[in-house]
A and B are shown apart, each in its own frame.
Chain A
Amino acid sequence: MENKMEASDKDYSFSLFKPGSEYNKRNRNLILSLLLIWVVAIFGFQLLLLALQKPTSEETLLKFESVWENVVSGNATEDEKGVYVNSLIAVAGKSSVKTESKLLLNKAITYTVFSMIGDSNRTLLSSYVKELHATREMLVKADDSEYIKLQEQLKGTKAAINAIANETTGKDPSNLKASILPYCLNPVSAELTSEETKALQSDMKIYLTHNQSVLTDTIFIGFPFHYFYSSEFLLILFVGLCLFYSIRITQLQKKFSIKE
């Protein structure tokens, strides 16, 4: 479209919001509409997530809290200690746990497990745990043939540890927590300090409380809905917006006889 304008400063002023020609007005409307969809789709949804979310505890946290007072005061029964250790393992088994939290969890698990087994078994358990740690270090440097041997050795050590300690996690040796337990034990048991006890309680709340809502709990083609929305839908929308803009702007240019 021809811009037949006077050669004055004012006539050549241009902005997105004062586009001048009809073509530019249509282009502006198209751009602003797409940007509005873009902003609402991205940030509107996150704000909605924020508005609807409620801190929700995992069942493990409820079990942990039900025995926590007795464990701290030293009045816990064997069953309560079992619940306590299981809840700690459920957190220690998460791969997102930070190193300092993992060390704390391991210390608490080791102390409780050692306090639950007989005196004669403590030394034995301690030696098995040492053996487990040593074997794992050797695995790092092993070649293929050694690796398989060491794996067999590791399997035997884990079974021996579980045979002593599985009272704390349940008697089923294929129990997931039973498989995690050997890796949570230290060779030497030590009681938690009062600061560590507080830190442990705080860590358990942090790792077992999550921001959930109907948007996170609804399953959509296998995904938690909010995860699908951000990882799949938004990307599809972006490609769609771009495609729509390209087609529409070409149509507008044809309509207004714009030649590029």
Chain B
Amino acid sequence: MKKIFLSTSILSIPALSFAGSLTQLEGSFKLGPAIILITVLFIFVFVGFLSRAKDTTDYYAAGRKISNVSSGMAIGANWMSAASFLGLSGMMYVTGYNGLAYVVGWTGGYVLLLVLMAGQIRKYGKFTASDFIGDRYYSQGLRATSAVFTILISFAYCVGQFGGVGLMFKWILGINYTWSVIIGASVVIFYTMISGMIGATKNMVIQYIILIIAFMIPTFLLTYKFDYFWLIPQFGYGSIVTDIVQGIPAPNISDGVALINAYGHNFSIVASPEFAMPWDPATGSTAFQWMAICFSLMVGTAGLPHVLQRFYITPTIRDARLSCVWGLFFICVLYWSTPIYSVFGKILSSDPEVGKLASDAIVVYTAQLGNIPPLVVGLLAAGAVSAAFSTISGLLVAGSSAFSHDLYVKIFNPAASPKAQLRMARFGTILMGVVVGIVAMLKLGMIAQLVAVAFSMAACTIFPLFLLGIWWSGSNKAGGIAGMTVGITVSMISLTYFIVAKTGNQLPGQAFVEYWLNVWYFAWIGAPLSILTNIIVSKFTEPTPLEIKKFLVEKVHS
């Protein structure tokens, strides 16, 4: 049975409570969504207060007592940032099939993580990624370098999250960006500071539940409302993709009310195959870029410090592996649903009156345009805030651990008492949170955009050290340093050209570097080069000490 829910057609969308431009988020106080948001913020603080960290094991590794399902949810929440929640649909809306490279890249990396690293990292028994690198390569220099990278990656990533927090706070509470950052940063710094990894992880479980419920409800409503298969919207939206490709003829109009067309819908769209066809000329992307992005994101995922650190928190090695499986499943639940918002965004914005949607919060725009009840849209916004908070808290723990454990304790003050270590970890969290908040308030768009570099940089620097460090005892200190140097060099070349282009200038070979060493995917060449360099240099330099080889064979691989 065909349904006509809209009183007028998509060609004349009613205003309801969303008067004004339909492609802008209106920034006035909304009571229902505000109650949801404030409740959620109180829960985060309360859970953090109840889970206060008693020692450094609690602070860095949640006491190593998180079950595999909870750890999986935490992996999912930690992974799904505001960018994933809000921006990935936008990416697919703008670039069509090319956006799927991000979906495949951000999920496929977990296969690498599981089969090559998760169990082995847990067996190694450290607290942080830098800890592993420093011990395995018996190098304080590599420990310090990777700790600095961890802080930089976490910092840039964190700043980027506040864009999403600001957007949602403005939409729900009607407050400006600066106050959004102050409130958001205060909440997340407070609960992370007092509870460290243990509170962050428990909150991540709650945040995952909130964000996934918030994300799923509109998908059911939208598919039901527009008469597609709604029982499993993740499959039901396939027909919408085909409708976009083939076009939907206009419905008949009587007295300004749209009746159904031959397809049974009261909306229409011109044929737009470019939305789904691979590397379509209209998108300006190529097959090489699709595969390079996909590869770089997968390898980068397996090298991000705040992701690697999550495998230290489970009680057993088997739990570490299972948490990875659960984590991937929980991530996929959201990523299976992400394209739904992009396809509805495409259909709803085909109305010339609406025009092209801005891609920064397409999930919320689509829900608004689809006339989803405002309270549900409010829940969606709270989900976006949860996604941002879970990622920020994970990054704060990763960054502060690198600062306090890897730099302060392991390099500058090895004799620090456990109490002093915990104090320093809390200080690191506050310091990083405050600096991130201040930089976020400055609205330096450039910093947020540097998140793009994080994946490829992690893929070129940290991933090779973990891969070879775990799977080849011959990889030694000199090889590690040489490999990391190559990785950093490739990263710096790409980063320099990226920054120069953003400032409106050009360097020699700008177009060449932007295509072949783009910030999103320079790891396609950087990671293999770093691995190759590590192998070659290791072969010709002093071998790995016996005790490390022995540890690898006896503790990690048997």
Contact = CB atoms under 8 A, between A and B. Distances in A.
A199 B295 CA distance: 35
A242 B123 contact: no
A94 B355 CA distance: 10
A22 to B, nearest CB: 11
Interface in B344-372: 346, 349-350, 352-353, 355-357
B287 A46 contact: yes
A53 B278 contact: yes
A105 to B, nearest CB: 12
Identify whether the interface residues of A are mostly helix, strand, loop, or mixed. helix
B20 A140 contact: yes
A221 B242 CA distance: 10
B270 A232 contact: no
B110 A238 contact: yes
A144 B328 contact: no
Nearest to B322: A246
Interface string B453-492: 0000000000000000001111000000000000000000
Given A147-B15, A211-B280, A14 B552 contact: yes
Given A46-B287, A142-B19, A174-B253, A232 B336 contact: yes
B273 A212 contact: yes
Interface in A151-204: 151, 154-155, 173-177, 179-180, 182-184
Interface string A228-249: 1011101110110111011001
A212 B277 contact: yes
A223 B238 contact: yes
B192 interface: no
A47 B17 CA distance: 48
B328 A206 contact: no
B278 A211 contact: yes
A19 B111 CA distance: 21
B111 A38 contact: yes
Interface string A85-128: 00001100111110000000000000000000000000000000
Given A154-B353, A238-B328, A96 B282 contact: yes
Contacts of B447: none
Interface string B258-290: 000000000011111111111111110001001
A12 B473 CA distance: 8
B3 interface: no
A176 B250 contact: yes
A216 B332 CA distance: 23
A16 B116 CA distance: 10
Contact of B249 (A96, A176, A239, A243): A176
B278 A12 contact: no
Nearest to B352: A183
B114 A246 contact: yes
A68 interface: no
B94 interface: yes
A13 interface: yes
A9 B549 contact: yes
A238 B352 contact: no
A77 interface: no
B238 A222 contact: yes
A216 B276 contact: yes
Given A140-B21, A173-B253, A221-B235, A94 B270 contact: yes
Identify whether the interface residues of B are mostly helix, strand, loop, or mixed. helix
Interface stretch (B99-107, B428-436, B506-514): B99-107
B27 interface: no
Contacts of A136: 353
B235 A222 contact: yes
B353 A231 contact: no
Contacts of A1: 558
B104 A16 contact: no
B112 to A, nearest CB: 8
B471 A23 contact: no
Given A142-B19, A232-B336, A242 B328 contact: yes
B316 interface: yes
B108 interface: yes
A235 B110 contact: no
A186 B9 CA distance: 25
Given A147-B19, A222-B239, A42 B278 contact: no
Nearest to B550: A12
Contact of A238 (B107, B235, B357, B546): B107
A14 B278 contact: no
A34 B558 contact: no
Contacts of B236: 222
Interface pairs A-B: 3 shortest CB-CB: A222-B238, A223-B238, A222-B239
Given A14-B472, A175-B250, A222-B235, 14 more contacts: A15-B474, A38-B112, A46-B291, A49-B287, A58-B271, A139-B20, A174-B250, A216-B277, A227-B238, A232-B336, A235-B107, A235-B332, A239-B332, A249-B321
11 contacts: A144-B19, A147-B19, A173-B253, A210-B273, A230-B104, A231-B100, A235-B104, A235-B107, A245-B114, A260-B316, A260-B318
Interface of A: 1-3, 5, 7, 9, 12-16, 19-21, 23-24, 30-31, 34-35, 38, 42-43, 46, 49-50, 53, 58, 60, 89-90, 93-97, 136, 139-144, 146-148, 151, 154-155, 173-177, 179-180, 182-184, 205-207, 209-212, 216, 219-224, 226-228, 230-232, 234-236, 238-239, 241-243, 245-246, 249-250, 258, 260
